[in-house]
Structure 1
């Protein structure tokens, strides 16, 4: 099969399009013919080794803040068709259209912290085929096409995890940063589905689309005084900040929170090392909450929301798999709203040459 292979930490040149052996599912696994795979910030940060370590923020590491094994096929957000099953997996699953939960752990939340992640510790979907544990392949019943379904896995499970960690409730007001990106736009939809109202921090030219998704108000990302701009725009005091940007805006976001508010963070696109006044945190008794990938339970909630039509895909662009470098270059410019997806040339067909492996 053809795949894009990450050969080492580095720039775009570290990702090479080449012929690799077809993967074969082991016991309890399924083989999937990939029909669509979405891009994430994690793909770029993993390629760059940009996660640092607890003692050195500039260290070159994978997302678990430790070395990564190369070569590696990236791509965590996968939709496809089961055409092989390993021993112990019912042959009745052959031909299923599936969406893949990229978190490869067993057990509870503590195991999630040290989980393997599809496209990082295990080969992912920037390829024509992949294998995953059978329980991670969820049958999906929706009229959405494969590229649309591929927009959901990491972004929406991450957003659902953030809202669950922060215990967001109906009637609360949530401030969302990075609202035009995958996680940010998911946060708008999922928070609104809980009965919360959203204030979205957006880049130039993206306010109208955030409002169309359900944001009650928008604030420009480059506002000179972000905290004041939020206070003026928000229809009510901010109960929760859901932040995927961090960086220089962190102090202003904390200042915008009401007393006893909650700040949940799951990204640092604006910079991982921040400066803030701790007096703001302890005098307002603000709760700081770290969050990362979604649990299996969060993912199942997202799948249910897809099937009931409770959330809509935000597909901004589709590229052939062979054009992944161009897709990643467009992704890095951040001039889109939602998700970008790559599609193998064989996409759209499932169940051909289905076999039972092992």
Structure 2
């Protein structure tokens, strides 16, 4: 009988605080089935989905922002709708969606030429027969085990070879943040010479959206804390508006007479209404998250009489990730690596990540002990 291989991993034991994250060194290595590949994980990026899922914040029963909910002592350990997709999760679960790794094994002979190649993994597991059916979409590290482990099994169609001078940690910053940002700007149809407001501009998605908006030739107004203004200007932002001092809506209107064309909102909460006020006639608002608070109000007269459009941007469509890989290989975009932490220190890394003092992305290095 073959001996069962084991690996190091961090498992999420249930919804709750950081105590629900457990480092283990005896988790069985997963075995790929038909149409799947076994990936040796080299690095895995961290994103808000990890935090929100760990807390069970996605549940309809939660009406506060992430920071406020984190402080609640009575968070339930189980939920029927605690995942991004509004369903319950099976525990224990290995989280982590942003994988950079090497293909170790491919089930059968299919695409065996991938073995040994460095790859990025598209975290959106779309239905093979109907990828446009969003109701069937799954997410790596949520409905299936992800990359906070030495090995992960993924569909072979989600494996993308990458030729790049960037480090493993730098490449692990791209998947979630950049895929989400690209999806937002595509949905909002951002065009050359238009003006876009990007909230949460120093975060992973926001900082990615800045570079992608710059590629499109747009004018960019970032909403952020002013202590990050210099770094944001270096990324290509035209103006930085304080989210804390004064009225951001008034400041934005002074910069964009007649209103802005697009709002790319990554935070929601109290800022929502102010950002809607900034949209000009025919403006487009797109949101990928609401960590500052999910419950907002809207004066429907603004929507109707300004001919506004509103979009949600979660599931990243098929084909987006391949474009992202091309951008990376052609060095049209650059990684924004804030901090790297070893796997065993994931709790501390997530605590620092939640402080939101950084610009760019946190990454977990799997190879370091």
Q: Could you tell me the TM-score, scaled by structure 2's length?
A: 0.90
Comparing 109-118 with 164-173, greater Cα deviation is found at 109-118
Q: What's 1:290 paired with? A: 312
Contact 1:30/1:89 (8 A) holds in 2 = no
In 1, distance between residues paired with 2:307 and 2:131? 26
Partner of 1:40 in structure 2? 47
1:28 Cα deviation (Å)? Answer: 1.2
Q: Does 1:187 align with 2:193?
A: no
Partners of 2:42 and 2:101 within 8 A in 1? yes
- In 1, Cα distance between the equivalents of 2:41 and 2:257? 44
Q: CA deviation at 1:204?
A: 3.5
Structure 2, unaligned runs of 5 or more: 1-6, 64-78
Range with greater deviation from structure 2 (114-123 or 175-184): 114-123
Q: Which residue number corresponds to residue 169 of structure 2?
A: 147
2:106 corresponds to = 85
Deviation at 1:329, TM superposition (A): 0.6
2:74 counterpart residue number: none
- Report the Cα distance in structure 2 between the residues aligned to 1:292 and 1:277, rounded to whole angstroms: 24
**Count of equivalent residues:** 345
CA contact (8 A) 1:64 1:114 kept: no
Task: Return the alpha-carbon distance in structure 2 between the equivalents of residues 133 and 122 of structure 1.
Answer: 11
Shift of 1:196: 1.1
State how far apart, in whole Å, the 1-side matches of 2:187 and 2:330 are: 23
CA shift digits 1:268-318 (9 cap, x unpaired): 011000023222221211111111132231111111110110110000111
Please give the per-residue CA displacement for 1:145-199, whole angstroms capped at 9, x wherever unaligned.
1100000000000011011111111111111000000000011001111111211
Aligned partner of residue 337 in structure 1, secondary structure: coil
Written as runs of structure 1 = structure 2, the 5 A alignment for 1:1-358 is 1-18=7-24, 19-53=26-60, 56-58=61-63, 61-106=82-127, 107=129, 110-234=132-256, 237-345=259-367
Q: CA offsets per residue over residues 189-217 of structure 1, 9 Å max, x none?
A: 01111111211111231111111101111
Distance 1:260 1:94 in 2: 49
Moved over 3 A (4+): 56-60, 107-110, 233-237
Distance in 1 of aligned mates of 2:95 and 2:257: 41
Give, in whole Å, the separation in 2 of the partners of 1:284 and 1:189. 29
Structure 1: tracts of 5 or more residues without a match: 348-358
Question: 1:108 Cα shift?
Answer: 5.0
Shift of the 270–346 alpha-carbon distance from structure 1 to 2, 3 Å rule, reads closer
